[in-house]
Amino acid sequence: MSTISMNRLNGKTAVITGGATGIGLAAAKRFIEEGAFVFIFGRRQDALDAAVSDLGPNARAVKGSVCDLADLDRLYAAVKAERGTLDIVFANAGVGSQLKLGEITAKHIDETFDTNVKGTIFTVQKALPLMGQGGSIILTGSSAGTTGAPAFTAYSASKAAVRNLARTWVEDLKSTGIRVNVLSPGAIATELATESLGEEGLKAYGSMTGFQRMGDPTELGAVAAFLASSDSSFMTGSEVAVDGGLAQI
């Protein structure tokens, strides 16, 4: 890694939801390597504790759910108390599970949209009072939001909604100097993907990419750092696909 890239996020403060594992943790590591101070937010205290131990002194953890507005208030109160302002929000928390058409339940839809859509909206909305000129908002989309995926009706629809949030917020944020972009993974070997697909499913999914393998969360973390930095200063409303070509071919 070059000296320039190591310092891209020097002095910046970031919030990463779903930051204790997978893509969120990989992004937290990369942000800190590049000079940021990071608050990770998640539901499992044991995972948060392990992540902070791994990340070191420039990380803090706040336990909570993006579905709970009071939890989000506590998160941003902690950021304000320690850092004063906020530069980067990576709204990464998400859920997804398979249910075929004909088996979909109201509970399944509510759980998916509460986290992936409502949670994303309020993660961003509640952060805005702490953000200003040069701020960067990154939303986690998915290749499934473009291509669809068998038995992932609710998940695919929720990620298509996330893509449209960025397009809409470009207009809403025009006068603020805050950018918003979507980072869309595809076949990435995360804990969520393993739970949803199983080991054999992961192999089959990876074989569909242009590289015939699953991606690593660190490959997403690198692109998240680019979107968080001023290197992407003329990008807003964009979707960056880090999917091995899955949704492109």
Active site residues: 155, 159
Angle, CA 167 vertex, CA 178 and CA 73 arms, to 5°: 55
d(CA 127, CA 139): 13
Q: List C-alpha distances in Å: 130 to 3, 58, 81, 127, 135.
A: 29, 19, 11, 6, 10
Q: List C-alpha distances in Å: 9 to 24, 111, 138, 201, 224.
A: 16, 34, 15, 36, 11
Contacts of 14 (CB under 8 A, 6+ apart): 28, 31, 36, 37, 38, 39, 86, 87, 88, 89, 90, 228
